[in-house]
């Protein structure tokens, strides 16, 4: 709908509403005037009739009814005489012999009011006459007729309706003439205004399309002309500022979305204005959060507390927290207030410090474990050295002490050697010497290295090599070390006389090597951590509940050696019992 059409209909509607309101007001005024006039007339006529009857001599019921008929003809209204007990003793609309059939009028509202105040009035529907009636009752003062107490007059309200209908007809005619004039005036005014507004609209559309050349239209000197010139002057400035703003906003969003930290920008009303991709991942938000209240998205109490404090102008020192049910992921939330023209907003930054906490825990555990692993053999060595210095009378005890010292010294040497190798692996100082390596030869070499341990525990190794997985590309020495550590681990935990299974198979384009034992398996809670340095599973899994004598670094070395090859190592429990270590290498 065009502006001209809307202006035309708006003017026409305003005129029509004014005419309707005027007609309604006139109708209401006439109704009130006529109604009040009829009420006053009936009251005066009723009082006159009551005053006349108060001087009448005693009369019979027939005489009173005849008097009611005469008064009804004179004043063109229904006249009813009511006795003190409420019975009707005369009625201009009812024959004398039918008076006894009328209901008792003592409870009628107008009669009750007349007895209390002298004059009573009521409006209600008459079932006898089938129309709305106005009733006026007046008490008869000191009537000479003891049976007569009140005179009641009744008149139908049709007269008001007839006069009101005439006013309505006149109002409708006047309204029709007014509407015709309003149509003509509204059409002319809308035509003049629409031409000028259309010129301004065309200029605005041209600006919206990117054409910012100055307009040559003469807008005039009135208010519309001022608006047109202001639009013409300011639109280009606004366009330049919007362009600069969009450029700055796009640059800022690109920077924030490229950050690893989560960023939430909150308006003074608590609504999210911007949430970068990192924050959506941290808070696990899938839908578009902008426009929502921050409590709908950031439901963690510490995050809500930081934002609330920032909105109140406080800069917190940050809170460390975990989100959702993943207690292994740690964040630091820091909120800061941001002042703007609209009020004080807030910015919340979420730092993922999971790796820092993990590295700190590994460092602390590493120091504690190295201290423990070195202190235990050193304590034993020191004790046996002190015993030897004090002198040992039995040569067999002296030899046993020396063997114990040698064993613990070898354990410390092996620990230091494993630590140095892990350090070289971490630093990338062990390059790969790739070659085609036969799996059979690799398995045989590993079994030969641990043959003494296998014989001591009456264990045997079963090899299964698929034809399409007989050769792997890798560093034979490093693959040998990785498999030897896994087989040594299996011999330590598998029961005596059990079987250790080495297999090689192909899965898609990868070679899968497995080492399976039939020991007690690994508790589910320990499976994710068995490849950590110095991590030991519950001793109940080791044989005879004693330490198998390892350094706790073998599986960590295996993980690094396999990682050098671009592979992965995993561990799981076998359904039939025992653990199975799986190495996947590129085929």
HEC sequence for 331-344: EEEEEEEEEECCEE
Provide the whole-model pTM: 0.44
197 belongs to a structural domain: no
Number of domains making up the chain = 4
* pLDDT of res. 541: 42
* pLDDT of res. 543: 43
Pair 154, 290 in one domain:
no
- Expressed as residue numbers, the domain containing 397 is 356-426
Pair 514, 576 in one domain:
yes
Pair 531, 572 in one domain:
yes
Pair 323, 393 in one domain:
no
* pLDDT of res. 212: 62
Pair 464, 522 in one domain:
yes
CB of 273 closer than 8 Å to CB of 345? yes
6 belongs to a structural domain: no
Pair 325, 368 in one domain:
no
CATH number at residue 508: 3.30.565.10
Residues 6+ positions from 234 with CB-CB distance below 8 Å: none
* Boundary residue ending a domain (294, 329, 352): 352
233 belongs to a structural domain: no
300 belongs to a structural domain: yes
* pLDDT of res. 344: 83
CATH number at residue 334: 3.30.450.20
Pair 405, 280 in one domain:
no
Q: What are the DSSP E strand ranges found in 415-555?
A: 435-438, 460-465, 471-474, 499-507, 510-516
Dist CA 192 CA 199 (whole Å): 12
Pair 331, 400 in one domain:
no
Dist CA 403 CA 397 (whole Å): 10
- Would you write out the chain's pLDDT as a tens digit for each of its 587 residues? 666 676 667 777 777 787 778 777 876 777 777 778 878 888 888 888 888 877 766 667 788 888 888 888 888 888 988 888 888 888 888 888 888 888 888 888 998 998 889 899 998 887 766 778 889 999 888 655 566 888 999 888 776 677 667 766 776 777 778 778 777 777 777 677 777 677 777 777 776 776 666 666 666 666 777 777 777 777 767 767 777 878 877 887 787 777 778 888 888 888 888 888 888 888 878 777 888 888 887 778 888 888 888 888 887 677 887 776 556 678 888 888 888 777 788 888 888 887 787 777 777 777 777 777 777 788 888 888 888 888 777 778 888 888 888 888 887 887 788 778 778 887 777 888 889 999 999 999 999 989 988 999 999 999 999 999 999 999 998 899 999 989 998 998 889 999 999 999 998 889 999 999 988 888 888 888 888 877 766 544 444 433 445 567 788 889 989 998 899 999 999 988 889 999 999 97
* pLDDT of res. 464: 93
364 belongs to a structural domain: yes
Pair 92, 47 in one domain:
yes
* pLDDT of res. 547: 44
Pair 282, 332 in one domain:
yes
Dist CA 5 CA 408 (whole Å): 103
Dist CA 407 CA 549 (whole Å): 10
315 belongs to a structural domain: yes
Pair 315, 417 in one domain:
no
Burial of 369 (0-12, 13-18, 19+ CB in 10 A): buried
CA count, 13 A, side-chain hemisphere, 548: 23
């Amino acid at each position: 709908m065009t502006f001209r059409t809307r202006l035309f209909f708006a003017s026409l509607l305003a005129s029509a509403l004014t005419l309707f309101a005027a007609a309604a007001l006139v109708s209401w005024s006439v109704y009130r005037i006529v109604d009040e006039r009829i009420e006053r007339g009936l009251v005066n006529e009723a009082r006159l009739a009551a005053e006349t009857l108060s001087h009448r001599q005693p009369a019979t019921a027939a005489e009173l009814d005849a008097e009611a008929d005469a008064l009804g003809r004179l004043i063109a209204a229904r006249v009813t005489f009511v006795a003190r007990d409420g019975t009707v003793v005369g009625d201009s609309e009812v024959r004398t012999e039918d008076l006894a059939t009328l209901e008792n009028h003592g409870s009628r509202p107008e009669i009750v009011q007349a007895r209390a105040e002298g004059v009573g009035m009521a409006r209600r529907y008459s079932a006898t006459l089938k129309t709305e009636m106005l009733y006026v009752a007046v008490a008869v003062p000191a009537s000479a007729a003891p049976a007569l107490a009140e005179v009641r007059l009744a008149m139908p309200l049709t007269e008001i309706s007839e006069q009101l209908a005439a006013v309505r007809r006149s109002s409708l005619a006047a309204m029709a003439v007014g509407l015709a004039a309003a149509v003509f005036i509204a059409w002319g005014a809308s035509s003049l205004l629409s031409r000028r507004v259309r010129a301004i609209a065309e200029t605005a559309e041209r600006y919206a399309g990117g054409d910012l050349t100055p307009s040559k239209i003469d807008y005039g000197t009135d208010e519309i002309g001022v608006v047109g010139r202001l639009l013409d002057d300011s639109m280009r400035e606004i366009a330049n500022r919007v362009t600069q703003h969009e450029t700055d906003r796009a640059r800022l969003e690109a920077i924030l979305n490229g950050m690893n930290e989560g960023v939430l920008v909150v308006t003074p009303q608590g609504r999210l204005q911007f949430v970068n991709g990192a924050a959506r991942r941290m808070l696990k938000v899938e839908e578009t959060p902008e426009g929502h209240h921050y409590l709908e998205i950031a439901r963690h109490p510490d995050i809500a507390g930081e934002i609330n404090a920032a909105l109140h102008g406080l800069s917190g020192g940050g809170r460390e927290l975990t989100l959702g049910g993943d207690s292994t992921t740690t964040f630091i939330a820091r909120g800061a207030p941001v002042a703007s023209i609209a009020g004080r907003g807030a910015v919340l930054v979420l730092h993922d410090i999971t790796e820092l906490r993990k590295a700190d825990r590994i460092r602390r555990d590493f120091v504690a474990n190295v201290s423990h692993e070195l202190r235990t053999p050193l304590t034993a060595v020191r004790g046996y050295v002190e015993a030897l210095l004090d002198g040992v009378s039995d040569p067999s005890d002296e030899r046993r002490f020396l063997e114990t010292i040698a064993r613990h010294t070898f354990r410390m040497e092996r620990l230091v050697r494993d630590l140095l190798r892990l350090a070289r692996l971490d630093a990338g100082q062990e390059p790969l010497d790739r070659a085609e390596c036969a799996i059979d030869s690799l398995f045989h070499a590993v079994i030969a290295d641990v043959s003494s341990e296998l014989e001591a525990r009456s264990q045997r190794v079963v090899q299964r090599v698929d034809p399409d997985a007989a050769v792997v590309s890798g560093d034979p020495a490093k693959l040998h070390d990785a498999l030897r550590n896994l087989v040594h681990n299996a011999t330590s935990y598998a029961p005596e006389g059990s079987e250790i299974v080495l297999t090689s198979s192909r899965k898609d384009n990868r070679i899968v090597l497995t080492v399976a034992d039939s020991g007690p398996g690994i508790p589910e809670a320990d499976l994710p951590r068995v490849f950590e340095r110095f991590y030991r599973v519950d001793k109940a899994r080791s044989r005879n509940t004693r330490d198998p004598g390892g350094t706790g670094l073998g599986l960590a070395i295996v993980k690094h050696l396999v990682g050098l090859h671009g592979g992965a190592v995993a561990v799981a429990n076998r359904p039939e019992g025992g653990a199975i270590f799986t190495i996947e290498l590129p085929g």
